[in-house]
Homo-oligomer: A and B are copies of this chain.
Amino acid sequence: MKKIKFNVAYTTDLLIFGIDSRKNANTRSLPVKHFSILLVKRDKEPFVDKWCLPGGFIESGETSKIASDRVLTKETGLTNVYMQQLSVNDAVNRDPRGRVISVSYMALIDRTLLVEKLQENACWFDICITEENNFYHIVLTNGEETINYDVKKIPIDIKSDEYNYEVTSQSNLAFDHAKLIIDGIMELRNKVNNTDIVFNLMPEKFTIGELKQVYELLLNKKLVNSAFRRTIADKVILTEEMVQTGGHRPSVLCQYNEENLKNK
């Protein structure tokens, strides 16, 4: 069989997205949800001291999916997590050291499940995206450091209403990871609109208000209360339990309705 004719490294890059809640200064109001991504600070060249996506080399007996699960468990201690393949990134010069073919995956986790301490050099960055005309401004912050960059939304040049996202400014991110992150966020938004993957970002039990917070955070827009309750009604099961989330009326806890998909 024809063997490979060039030296190549086969790697995986993980977009680990998480949601957590933080108490508000106002004791009456709900804790605020934050949407974040796990990044790792590089400790060697190239791009030393820049931030990058967790990832690593894929071993000879592994698929990219298995390697990604391994990396995810190493970074978070979690198993059985929602993970989806995003894309192959194989631009010839994406790594100055040589040809590197990378498969990116997106994992979704509820950060309240995290019990172990993060790996050294690993850190959660809150994600904030603002949109103006056809430009996006992405700000990632971990409380001490801020990474930010701009992205232009460009219609693909063939008959379709799809878009490419082109990074138009420098950032503190290694390799092509700024591009991988925006592509991943856009794919996540798309899936939030068309699937039930959001529930992978929620605890086992949650209130409808919390669920709405997460939808609003990911889609970057306010939703109408009554319409929201209508549309998610079939996706959740109400439990008998109530919770007190602040200085206001208590809320019923609900769970994802696994039966939902059987009716489609």
Contact = CB atoms under 8 A, between A and B. Distances in A.
A162 interface: yes
Contact of A5 (B60, B80, B160): B60
Interface in A1-36: 1-10
A92 B80 contact: no
Contact of A7 (B4, B58, B258): B4
A82 B195 contact: no
A98 B4 CA distance: 11
A43 to B, nearest CB: 15
A155 to B, nearest CB: 6
A256 B159 CA distance: 8
A199 to B, nearest CB: 4
Contacts of A146: none
Interface in A68-111: 80-82, 85, 87-88, 90-92, 97-99, 101, 103
Nearest to A67: B90
Given A6-B60, A10-B8, A197 B91 contact: no
B1 A98 contact: yes
Contacts of A101: 10, 101
A159 B57 CA distance: 28
Contact of A161 (B60, B99, B261): B261
A121 interface: no
A264 interface: yes
Contacts of A99: 60
Interface string A187-228: 000000011110110000000000000000000000000000
Interface in A39-85: 57-64, 80-82, 85
B195 A162 contact: yes
A61 B60 CA distance: 23
Nearest to A63: B90
Contacts of A62: 92
